[in-house]
Structure 1
Amino acid sequence: MTRSTRQDHGLFPSEAEIARRLSQTPREWAAKAKVLEREGLPRIDPLMGGRFWPAVRAFWMARYNLSAIEIPALDGAENLDAL
């Protein structure tokens, strides 16, 4: 496994891998990422050299209101003898 392949499977994938995961070309992604960073897309971590993938995924989930899971309240005890 090459270094780039290993990197693409980790928590800080390359920009090319992020583009692939989001069905974008690297060039399209580079332009869109600049705009999306102003909206909260995680920036490239200078120490790790990539964007933290779980945070990138959380950004997209929040953007489409899929980040909060609501659990319905219980409606009381079940009465199995009721008709």
Structure 2
Amino acid sequence: MPRRQHQDQGLFPCEAEVARRLSQDPVAWKAKALILERDGLPRIDPMMGARYWPAVQAYWNRRYGLSHVEASALDGQENLDAL
């Protein structure tokens, strides 16, 4: 059976897949990941042998200021009869 080019690797993708998802060369990603781990990038979980993908996404969201979602201000009383 031929191997698919992209295969969903779930919550703990291999490092090559993490690099692909982040548009990085796998070799360059290895060096960058070591530096980013000092800044809070989740480390490889020893039991699972990979990084927990939702935590990786959360790291990038925090890094770019997207982790705090604020409710929008109310703009007045709802009037459902207006529909």
Give the TM-score of the pair, scaled to structure 1.
0.81
1:31-50, Cα deviation, whole Å (9 max, x unpaired): 00000000000000000000
The CA distance in 2 between the partners of 1:28 and 1:11, in whole Å, is 22
- Which residue is equivalent to 1:36? 36
1:39-83, Cα deviation, whole Å (9 max, x unpaired): 00000000000000000000000000011111122133257xxxx
- Which residue is equivalent to 1:12? 12
- Which residue is equivalent to 2:52? 52
The CA distance in 2 between the partners of 1:47 and 1:10, in whole Å, is 16
List alignment gaps of at least 5 residues for structure 2. none
Structure 1 pair 78–11 and aligned structure 2 pair: CA distance change class (3 A): closer
Cα-Cα RMSD: 2.2
4+ runs deviating over 2 angstroms: none
- Which residue is equivalent to 2:74? 74
Query: May I ask how many residue pairs the two structures share in their alignment?
Result: 77
- Which residue is equivalent to 2:63? 63
